[in-house]
Amino acid sequence: MSTADDVVPALTALGFSLNESRAYTALLQENPATGYEVGVRAQIPRSAVYGVLRRLVKVGAARSIAGTPERFAPSPAEELLALLRKRFDTQATQLEGALQTLDARPAAPDAFSVHGYPRVLEEAERLIRSATEQLVVSGWPREIEVLSAELRRAVKRKVYLVVFSHAELPSLPGAEVFTYGLAESALEAFWKHRLVVIADDQRTLIGAAEQGRDDNAVVSETKAIAEIATSQVALDITLLSQRDPESSRDVQAVMARMLGDRVGRLDSLLSSQPPPPP
């Protein structure tokens, strides 16, 4: 259940100042209210509160009720959200037009880093959305659950999806899922949350996912890095099949699809080698 502690940071993330966010939240909790009452509830100095409220009125987040004293009421939350969405779409369209006019196409770096848990997951989602043929993902149930909507959309686009985890994973229909089925809490006692996403054997994200500001990830467009990361996940899947001899699942077809002709050519080379001397 949302509280004022949830609303204030959400509003500031949308561009409202801290005092504007506190004032709007205070009006939601008790309205109509005078500037003095809002200032007390929102802990805004009396000298500043009326300026804050009038800015809210100006942007459509609050309404002024004439009288002595003047009172204020919040715009209904659903109306404010609709207004903000419309403005964002308009501004995004204007930016798109301006960028097209500028025709600026900066060269993308071969690799770059992102910091903070939300940015790590945002970049993971971006890579998943970019995939057209194949996705290989290795991670923990917590992160796979966050990414599951984008992963399901990838499957609907006919992207071949392989997911590996040591812990028990949520259902992902249409994906090749490999897991030891271990309890996430038990693994957390000695392993850190890590996330690997490889899109189309070309674009790679490798990062920490501990839900902290210190989380970071490297995002790469280097094919060699994608190949190495894919091979590591393939090794994890192969070890899983070897450690679970009672499993009847044949992973050869998955390996061939993940690794492409790299597997077939290696098999051909090995088969052409002369037998070792007795």
Contact residues for 21 (Cβ-Cβ < 8 A; gap 6+): 7, 8, 9, 11, 12
Pair 70, 193 in one domain: no
Rounded distance, CA 187 to CA 223, Å? 31
Question: Pairing relation of β-strands 134-138 and 160-167?
Answer: parallel
Average pLDDT along the chain, 278 residues, taken 10 residues at a time = 72 90 93 93 92 93 90 90 88 81 66 92 95 96 95 96 92 91 90 96 95 91 93 91 70 85 54 58
65 shares its domain with 151: no
Same domain, 150 and 253: yes
Domain count, the chain: 2
147/246 same-domain check: yes
List, edge to edge, every strand of the sheet that includes 62-65: 33-34, 71-74, 62-65
User: Are 126 and 241 members of one domain?
Assistant: yes
**71, 145: one domain:** no
**203 touches 219 (CB < 8 A):** yes
> To 10 degrees, the CA torsion angle through 166, 167, 171, 172?
-30
Residues 17, 152, single domain; the answer is no
User: Do 52 and 131 fall into the same domain?
Assistant: no
**Cα gap 76→55, rounded to integer Å:** 16
Same domain assignment for residues 31 and 152: no
Q: Last residue of a domain, which of 27, 60, 78?
A: 78
- Tell me whether residue 226 is in a domain: yes
C-alpha 198/C-alpha 112 separation (Å) is: 15
Residue count of the chain, please give it.
278
CA atoms of 253 and 186, how far apart (whole Å): 31
CATH number at residue 166: 3.30.870.10
Which residue from 88, 92, 71 is spatially nearest to 80, judged by alpha carbons?
Answer: 88
Amino acid 218: pLDDT: 94
Q: Alpha-carbon distance 228 to 205, whole Å?
A: 12
Does some domain include residue 245?
yes
178 and 252 both lie in a single domain: yes
Whether residue 175 is contained in a domain is answered as yes
Nearest alpha carbon to residue 224 among 254, 186, 262, 191: 262
Tell whether 155 and 71 lie within a shared domain.
no
Residue 33 belongs to a domain with what CATH number? 1.10.10.10
Predicted confidence at residue 91, as pLDDT, reads 86
Asked if residue 198 lies in contact with residue 184, where contact means CB atoms within 8 angstroms, the answer is: no
pTM score, two decimals?
0.67
Q: Which of 57, 78, 99 is the last residue of a domain?
A: 78
Answer for the pair 115, 219: CB distance below 8 angstroms, yes or no.
Answer: no
| Domain-embedded: residue 238 | yes
Q: Are 49 and 132 contained in the same domain?
A: no
86 is a domain residue: no
Residue 143 lies in a domain: yes
Kindly compute the dihedral angle of the four CA atoms of residues 74, 76, 79, 80, in this order, to the nearest 10 degrees.
Answer: 40
Is 41 a member of any domain? yes
Question: Which residues form the domain of 17?
Answer: 4-78
Phi, psi angles (nearest 5°) of residue 173: -55, 135
